[in-house]
Amino acid sequence: MSELSVEGREAEAAGECVVMKFGGTSVQDAAAIRRVCQLTRRALPERRVLVVSALAKVTDQLMNAGWAAAEGRLDAARASLQLLRERHEAVAGGLVGGDEHRRLCNEFAREFDALAVVLSRIASEKAFTPHAQDQLLGVGESLSSKLVHAALQSAGMEAVLVDSRDCIVTDAAHTRATPLWDETNERLRAVLVPLLKSGQTPVMGGFVGATRDGIATTLGRGGSDFSASIVGAGLHAKRIEIWTDVDGIMTTDPALCPDASRVARMSFDEAADLAYFGAKVLHPATLVPAMRGNIPVWVLNSRNPNCAGTEIVARCESDGRVKAVTSKRGVAIVDIEPVRWFAPELLREVFDVFERHQHSLDLLSASRGSLALLVSSVTALPAIAEELKGLANVRWESHKALVCLVGEQIRRRPEIASQAFRAIADIDVRMICQGASERNISFLVDESRAVEAVQRLHRSFFSAPAPEPAMEASSSQAMCQAEGVWQ
Ligand code: ADP
Ligand code: ASP
Ligand code: MG
């Protein structure tokens, strides 16, 4: 690790802190928030910073209210705000009483009045812009952090509410903002270090930030994990804990395969690949700051805190086995065929056009004759095709899913790819991607077959040996070098 700056040393001295992030289900009601208080107390005497998500489903409900307002259904939007308000007041009532309850309800009233103004503006403009979306959605985290703060205080802990918009400085890419690292680290240290030194527990909303001018932004759906990692890296924390509703990172999504089992340890790279290829348990950018600061990340179950969870560290022993299976839905494959011949300039032009349209690429496969790209959204593709007219013909197919096997060095063992082929032999595979790294092998299939493909691969790699179907791999059409491209 590089030598620490004065600020870094100060953060570290005040640090030795642990960042604890609690997801939506871990703060969904008064009982869940009481568990958060117990877990926070249990962590004593370590210094802690809490990062919390909005109460479960609140972000989706705020999003729906925004769309309803934009579509002219302002009454429906207001009605759902009213329900949200009542839910937060009821949760507050389950945590604190008397004056403290009244104080919290007054604070909520101010937040909901401001939300009503945003909804009216969306309705009058008939547009739910990314800027309005950030103003609306970030309120979920503001409300939940107030509830958790009040609960900790009433449980006798010295908690202090910190507005994340004062600490996490981002660019202005609304709905998918990126932190401006130096400013963010500086502000995190300036605000949090004195609080930690004086023995207080800061409570912050995840997911939100603000531009240098103080305009609210968000880090993308599921972004509270990323917030926790940003805070952890800024403070040189000793550990980042992601408290969620499952026992850790599992061999696959337990919602798809109930027999999925916990992975005790994995590398940063393995976890980052899993998150990038669709495992919702971690936001895809979470591991980036943690890796940079070499800070271990733990994924833990707030409903089953005695379970050891998953430890994610820089390096972990590997025997070349598959650690987990995941899938990313909503993928489209874009074929780019040069009008004349394939030249390196075309590659540059394609990247430039996608960049101009702020369109991120998931995977790229190049061959002598053409280029295949995988993307997660098709909205800008007609305009991109138009810009490339004369240079290349652009066609795309939507409703695909990328099913991915992850594990250090799995590509060194060719039998893994053949076992995977056998498991999904009768599923049409449009493209096979062996990672540029040695860590992942992925298959592009129709979205409608994705769940089945995951279940079969999981059974094949993690359950008792299944009978081998006597078939060859079906229509694998391309073998490619995969290259993850960060947004
Ligand atoms: P939180 O609200 O705590 O952020 P999320 O719903 O975002 O929680 O993420 C947890 C969910 O991720 C789990 O309930 C599970 O269904 C899903 N998931 C997907 N893939 C995995 C995996 N490999 N291991 C564990 N959970 C996974
Ligand atoms: N509440 C936000 C969301 O649902 C962020 C998060 O929970 O991580 O996307
Ligand atoms: Mg999440």
Q: Which is more confidently placed, 24 or 12?
A: 24
435 lines ligand 2 (CB under 6 A): no
Confidence of residue 358 (pLDDT cuts 50, 70, 90): confident
Question: Of all atoms in ligand 1, which is nearest to the CA of residue 224?
Answer: 4
Q: Which is more confidently placed, 336 or 22?
A: 22
**In angstroms, rounded to a whole number, what is the distance separating the alpha carbons of residues 181 and 192?**
16
How many angstroms separate the alpha carbon of residue 349 from the centre of ligand 3? 36
The pLDDT score that the predictor gives to residue 436 is 66
138 lines ligand 2 (CB under 6 A): no
Residue 72's φ and ψ, nearest 5 degrees, are 85, 10
The H or E element spanning position 266 is strand 265-267
The pLDDT score that the predictor gives to residue 153 is 96
Confidence of residue 487 (pLDDT cuts 50, 70, 90): very low
Residues 342-364 as b or e (16 or more Cβ within 10 Å = b)? beeebeebbeebbeeeebebbbb
| C-alpha pair distances (Å), 166 with each of 169, 179, 207, 223, 290 | 8, 12, 13, 17, 21
Mean of pLDDT values over 162-170: 98
**In angstroms, rounded to a whole number, what is the distance separating the alpha carbons of residues 114 and 116?**
5
The pLDDT score that the predictor gives to residue 339 is 85
Residues 28-51 as b or e (16 or more Cβ within 10 Å = b)? bbbebbebbbebbeebeeebbbbb
**In angstroms, rounded to a whole number, what is the distance separating the alpha carbons of residues 306 and 190?**
34
- Contact indicator for 115, 81 with CB cutoff of 8 Å: yes
Q: Is the dihedral of CA 287, 291, 293, 298 positive or negative?
A: positive
> To the nearest whole number, what is the mean pLDDT of the chain?
90
Q: What is the number of other CB atoms lying within 10 angstroms of the CB of residue 195?
A: 18
Question: Of all atoms in ligand 1, which is nearest to the CA of residue 222?
Answer: 7
How many angstroms separate the alpha carbon of residue 428 from the centre of ligand 2? 34
The pLDDT score that the predictor gives to residue 4 is 55
Structure tokens at 58: 């609140």
Q: What share of the chain has pLDDT > 70, as a percent? A: 90
221 lines ligand 2 (CB under 6 A): yes
How many angstroms separate the alpha carbon of residue 23 from the centre of ligand 2? 8
pLDDT over 50 (residue 475): no
Residue 170's φ and ψ, nearest 5 degrees, are -125, 170
Helix (H, G, I), strand (E, B) or coil at 217: strand
| One-letter identity of residue 160 | V
Query: Residue 299 CA: which ligand is closest?
Result: 1
Query: Residue 221 CA: which ligand is closest?
Result: 2
The pLDDT score that the predictor gives to residue 485 is 28
Question: Of all atoms in ligand 1, which is nearest to the CA of residue 251?
Answer: 23
The protein residue with its alpha carbon nearest to ligand 2, atom 8, reads: 222
Mean of pLDDT values over 276-295: 95
Pocket residues: Cβ below 6 A from ligand 1? 23-26, 53, 222, 244-246, 249-250, 252-255, 279-281, 324, 326
Structure tokens at 161: 């509410």
Could you give the angle at which helices 98-125 and 58-70 cross, rounded to 10 degrees? Answer: 40
Mean of pLDDT values over 352-377: 79
Pocket probe for ligand 2: among 50, 62, 207, the residue whose CB has the most ligand atoms within 8 Å is: 207
Rank 30-34, 313-317, 358-362, 388-392 by mean pLDDT and report only the highest. Answer: 30-34
Q: What is the DSSP string of 89-111?
A: HHHHHHH--HHHHHHHHHHHHHH
- Contact indicator for 331, 376 with CB cutoff of 8 Å: yes
How many angstroms separate the alpha carbon of residue 281 from the centre of ligand 1? 3
10 Å CB burial of residue 426 (0-12, 13-18, 19+) is: exposed
Parallel, antiparallel, or unpaired: how do β-strands 392-406 and 479-482 relate?
unpaired
Q: Which are the contacts of 64, defined by CB distance < 8 A and separation ≥ 6?
A: 80
Parallel, antiparallel, or unpaired: how do β-strands 371-375 and 324-338 relate?
antiparallel
The protein residue with its alpha carbon nearest to ligand 1, atom 27, reads: 253
Pocket probe for ligand 2: among 22, 59, 141, 281, the residue whose CB has the most ligand atoms within 8 Å is: 59
How many angstroms separate the alpha carbon of residue 270 from the centre of ligand 1? 16
pLDDT over 80 (residue 132): yes
Greatest alpha-carbon span in the chain: 76
How many angstroms separate the alpha carbon of residue 331 from the centre of ligand 2? 21
**In angstroms, rounded to a whole number, what is the distance separating the alpha carbons of residues 432 and 383?**
28
pLDDT over 60 (residue 379): yes
Q: What does the pLDDT look like over 267-283, one tens digit per residue?
A: 999 999 999 999 999 99
Pocket probe for ligand 2: among 21, 52, 53, 60, the residue whose CB has the most ligand atoms within 8 Å is: 53
Confidence of residue 484 (pLDDT cuts 50, 70, 90): very low
pLDDT over 70 (residue 60): yes
How many angstroms separate the alpha carbon of residue 476 from the centre of ligand 2? 37
Confidence of residue 373 (pLDDT cuts 50, 70, 90): confident
**In angstroms, rounded to a whole number, what is the distance separating the alpha carbons of residues 184 and 42?**
29
Q: Which are the contacts of 35, defined by CB distance < 8 A and separation ≥ 6?
A: 26, 302, 303, 305
**In angstroms, rounded to a whole number, what is the distance separating the alpha carbons of residues 231 and 160?**
16
Q: What does the pLDDT look like over 298-353, one tens digit per residue?
A: 999 999 999 999 999 998 888 889 999 999 999 999 998 888 776 777 788 888 88
**In angstroms, rounded to a whole number, what is the distance separating the alpha carbons of residues 371 and 335?**
6
Q: What does the pLDDT look like over 396-438, one tens digit per residue?
A: 999 999 999 999 999 888 899 999 989 999 998 887 876 567 8
Question: Of all atoms in ligand 1, which is nearest to the CA of residue 25?
Answer: 2
pLDDT over 50 (residue 483): no
Mean of pLDDT values over 388-392: 88
Mean of pLDDT values over 166-188: 97
pLDDT over 60 (residue 8): no
The pLDDT score that the predictor gives to residue 14 is 54
The pLDDT score that the predictor gives to residue 5 is 62
336 lines ligand 2 (CB under 6 A): no
Q: What does the pLDDT look like over 77-124, one tens digit per residue?
A: 999 999 999 999 999 999 999 999 999 999 999 999 999 999 999 999
Q: What does the pLDDT look like over 440-456, one tens digit per residue?
A: 999 999 999 999 999 99
24 lines ligand 2 (CB under 6 A): yes
pLDDT over 50 (residue 486): no
The pLDDT score that the predictor gives to residue 362 is 74
Among the listed ranges 183-192, 219-228, 231-240, 359-368, which one has the minimum average pLDDT value? 359-368
How many angstroms separate the alpha carbon of residue 389 from the centre of ligand 1? 42
The closest alpha carbon to 196, from 168, 241, 151, 236, belongs to: 236
**In angstroms, rounded to a whole number, what is the distance separating the alpha carbons of residues 318 and 417?**
17
**In angstroms, rounded to a whole number, what is the distance separating the alpha carbons of residues 300 and 478?**
39
229 lines ligand 2 (CB under 6 A): no
**In angstroms, rounded to a whole number, what is the distance separating the alpha carbons of residues 406 and 416?**
11
Q: What does the pLDDT look like over 224-242, one tens digit per residue?
A: 999 999 999 999 999 999 9
Per residue, the 3-state secondary structure of 311-378, as one string, reads EEECCCCCCCCCCEEEEEEEEEEEEEEECCCCCHHHHHHHHHHHHHCCCCCCEEEECCCCEEEEECCC
The protein residue with its alpha carbon nearest to ligand 1, atom 15, reads: 253
